[in-house]
Amino acid sequence: MQTVYIETTIPSYLAAHPSSQVPIAADQQATHAWWTNERARFRLYTSIFTLDEAGRGDAGAAARRLTYLQGIPELDIPPQLPGLESDIIRLFQLPPRAVVDASHLALAVLHRMDFLLTWNCTHLANASVQRELLDYCLYHNLHVPIVCTPTALTQLTS
């Protein structure tokens, strides 16, 4: 069974009130469809980073986000994580507000996740990041997860 690392945007889209912006509402619907129809086909994992981010902000919204993460195993923090995080921050020139994105990606690499599921298309799920990640991981003999949205994962695995 293939593995999927659940990044914070997934429970955020699941727990959010429907957006009035059509593209975001469509992404929310796609996330619900994947969660309902597809997730049982995968072994899901998350991390302390996801739980921490999901638990921030409005208490009611945080509780809704965390509900979706209940029962999903948490990946441990390997000793190589800080070094890989630093490399990813430099490689993708991540701004300080996006440093935790490096943590998500590094965990997916180090734990050999098949997929990192996200709606963060700025710092994670985009072709430029995927290409740079592929080059970096091949050079360093590391596993390369596929970083994608629920829509893309449904298309990849159907």
pLDDT of residue 95: 92
pLDDT of residue 20: 95
Nearest to 7 by CA among 141, 138, 146: 146
Q: Which residues contact 99 (CB under 8 A, 6 or more apart)?
A: 85, 89
Percent of the chain scored above 70 by pLDDT? 100
pLDDT of residue 139: 97
Distance CA 129, CA 1 (A): 26
Distance CA 70, CA 51 (A): 10
Find out whether 55 and 65 touch, Cβ atoms under 8 Å.
Answer: yes
**What mean pLDDT is predicted for residues 40-64?**
97
What's the pTM value of the predicted model, to 2 decimals?
A: 0.95
Distance CA 106, CA 37 (A): 28
**What mean pLDDT is predicted for residues 7-28?**
96
CB atoms within 10 A of CB 87: 14
pLDDT of residue 157: 79
Here the CATH number for the domain that contains residue 91 is 3.40.50.1010
**What mean pLDDT is predicted for residues 88-110?**
95
Nearest to 108 by CA among 137, 140, 132: 137
pLDDT of residue 17: 93
Confidence of residue 28 (pLDDT cuts 50, 70, 90): very high
Question: DSSP character for 4?
Answer: E
Name the residue range of residue 13's domain: 3-157
- 59 pLDDT more than 80: yes
Find out whether 103 and 85 touch, Cβ atoms under 8 Å.
Answer: yes
Distance CA 143, CA 109 (A): 6
Percent of the chain scored above 90 by pLDDT? 95
pLDDT of residue 70: 97
CB atoms within 10 A of CB 1: 8
- 158 pLDDT more than 90: no
pLDDT of residue 110: 98
Give me the number of domains the chain comprises.
1
